[in-house]
Amino acid sequence: MKPDGLLAKAERALASADLLLSAGDPEGACNRAYYAMFDSARAALLQIAPDFVEIRTHGGLISAFSQHMVKPGHIPVELGKAINATEDMRVAADYKSEPINLENAAWAVAEAHRFVVAVRWLVSRNDKA
């Protein structure tokens, strides 16, 4: 998949996160917020190196994103921390019996919005280079 396709997928996940949050489903909202960030991170990495398509784990993708996008300053550190925190919430929501409260879910969705916007800007800027 190409960066634009991944960003479109991320935006659909983000729209789903918004709907789930407004419906009072914090676990579902966290799941979709994380996947919006995940697909955006994939898009950013593919923009700089097509071989990043080979990354097979969530941890591997987040680590590569941190190394190639956050550490060089292409993406703010706060957003690098946000994908980690949102992934932790997603794991708790999907696999554990810990409830996610609406306030935390709202934070995750808001951070996912910021994340997707930042990556879309980065990808569009690199398309023009």
Q: What pLDDT score was predicted for residue 97?
A: 82
Tokens 């996947």, residue?
Answer: 35
The answer to whether 7 touches 120, Cβ cutoff 8 Å, is yes
Q: What pLDDT score was predicted for residue 47?
A: 86
What does the domain layout of the chain look like in residue ranges?
A: 3-128
Q: What pLDDT score was predicted for residue 129?
A: 46
Q: What pLDDT score was predicted for residue 49?
A: 78
Record the tokens describing residue 92, joined without a space: 């708790």
| Low-confidence residues in the chain, pLDDT < 70 | 52-53, 127-129
Q: What pLDDT score was predicted for residue 127?
A: 62
Query: What is the C-alpha separation between 55 and 129, in angstroms, rounded?
Result: 25
What is the CATH topology of the domain spanning 3-128?
Four Helix Bundle (Hemerythrin (Met), subunit A) (1.20.120)
- Specify the pTM: 0.92
Q: What pLDDT score was predicted for residue 53?
A: 64
